Amino acid sequence: MSAVLLDGRGLAGTLRASARARASALFALRGRPPGIGVLLVSDDPAVVAYARGKAKAAAAVGIAHIAVRLPVDSDTSTVLAALVALQADPKVDGVIVELPLPPNVDATRVLAVIDPAKDADGAHPVSLGRLAFGLPGPRPATPAAVVALLEAAGTQLAGAQAVVVGRSRTVGLPAALMLLARDATVSICHSRTRDMAALARTADVLVVAAGVPELIGPEAVKPGATVVDVGTNWLPEPRADDPSAGRLVGDVAFDAVRAVAGRLTPVPGGVGPVTTATLLLSVVALAEANAASSNAGAPHR
C-alpha cells in the first residue's frame, strides 16, 4: 500500500481564487483592499518562512499586508504595545500573532489583547468560546485547514474514530472541537498519554499536531487511515557550501507512514498552503463584516 497524498496546494488555489474575487468586490465597494496585520516575534526559520509565504499570498489575492517584526528578546509589554497599535490601524481588518512567541513573552496575555472583531486566526478566548458553543465566528486557520482538507477528500467524519495528537489551544484543541462538531468520536493524545501509539492506531482519522519531528511512525497508524500532518519542523542539515541549509519535516515519519496509511498529507505542500488560504478568507470575511457595519451606520440620504 502507498497512501494517496492529499493535495493541499490544489485546494489552496481554489480557496485563494474565492478570496481574490471577494477582495476585489470589497475594493470596488469601499476604495481600499482588505488588510491583514501580522505581528512577528521570532527568528525560527520555519515560522519566518511561513510568515513570508503569507505576505506573498496576501499580495497575490489583493490583500494589503501590514507587518510588524520585533526582536526575539522583546518583553511582553513591548509586544502588547505593538499589537495594540497594529490593530488600531484603520487599514487592518484582521490581525494575527505569529506563534510560537518566545518564552520571554506571555502568550496568554498577548492573545487576550487581540480585538475579537479583528481576530483573523480565531485565537482570542471569545473566538475559542464561540467555537466550543458552535456559534459563528473566526476559526483558527490551521484546524480549519485540516477540516477543509478532510472534507475536500471526501473523508467520512460522522461516526469516524478520530485521534488528535497534541492539545494546544491553537491547533489540537480547536481541531478536536471541529471534528466533534462533525460527529466524529474524538480522542486527544498529549505528553502524559499512556501508550500513545496504541490509541493512535485506533484512528480512522489521525491528526498530528505535536511539534515533534517525525514523532508518529508506522506502528502508530491503523492500516488505511487518513493521516493529517500539521507539523512544520526545521531540521538543520549543514553542507560545506551552505552551513545554514536544512529541510522542513512534519510530525509524521513520511516515508514509513506512507506505506501504511490510506491518505496522507505531505510536508510541505499539505496543511500549510490551505492554512494560509483559509487565513486570507478569514481576513476577507472580517473586512466584509466591517464594511457592512460601516454601511449600516452611515446616514441615509
30-121: CATH number:
3.40.50.10860
3-state SS of the chain is CCCEECCHHHHHHHHHHHHHHHHHHHHHHHCCCCEEEEEECCCCHHHHHHHHHHHHHHHHCCCEEEEEECCCCCCHHHHHHHHHHHHHCCCCCEEEECCCCCCCCCHHHHHHCCCHHHECCCCCHHHHHHHHCCCCCCCCHHHHHHHHHHHHCCCCCCCCEEEEECCCCCCHHHHHHHHHHCCCEEEEECCCCCCHHHHHCCCCEEEECCCCCCCECHHHCCCCCEEEECCCEEEECCECCECCCEEEECCECHHHHHCCCCEECCCCCCHHHHHHHHHHHHHHHHHHHHHHHHHHHCCCC
CB contact at 8 A, 52 and 26: no
pTM above 0.75, yes or no: yes
Percent of the chain with pLDDT over 70: 96
CB contact at 8 A, 146 and 228: yes
Average of per-residue pLDDT across 134-153 = 96
Average of per-residue pLDDT across 176-183 = 98
Residues in the chain, total: 301
Contacts of 25 (CB under 8 A, 6+ apart): none
Q: How many CB atoms lie within 10 A of CB 9?
A: 14
* The pLDDT value given to residue 212: 94
Percent of the chain with pLDDT over 90: 86
Contacts of 194 (CB under 8 A, 6+ apart): none
Quote the cell numbers at residue 174: 480547536
The span from the CA of 143 to the CA of 262, in Å, is 21
Average of per-residue pLDDT across 27-44 = 95
Q: Where are the domains of the chain?
A: 30-121, 141-272
Class for the domain spanning 141-272 = alpha beta
* The pLDDT value given to residue 300: 47
Please choose, from the candidates 145, 126, 124, 146, the residue with its C-alpha nearest in 3D space to the C-alpha of residue 135: 126
Average of per-residue pLDDT across 253-271 = 96
Question: Chain-wide mean pLDDT for the chain?
Answer: 93
Residue 272 has pLDDT above 80, yes or no: yes
Asked whether this chain's domains 30-121 and 141-272 adopt the same fold, the reply is yes
pLDDT in tens, 188-217: 999 999 999 999 999 999 999 999 999 999
Of the listed ranges 43-57, 122-136, 236-250, the least confidently predicted one is 236-250
DSSP-assigned beta bridge partners for residue 252: 216
How many CA atoms within 13 Å lie on the side-chain side of 259?
Answer: 6
Residue 92 has pLDDT above 80, yes or no: yes
| Residue 243 pLDDT level (bands cut at 50, 70, 90) | low
* The pLDDT value given to residue 262: 98
Q: Cα dihedral sign for 212, 99, 121, 65?
A: negative
The span from the CA of 42 to the CA of 64, in Å, is 22
Amino acid making up residue 78: T
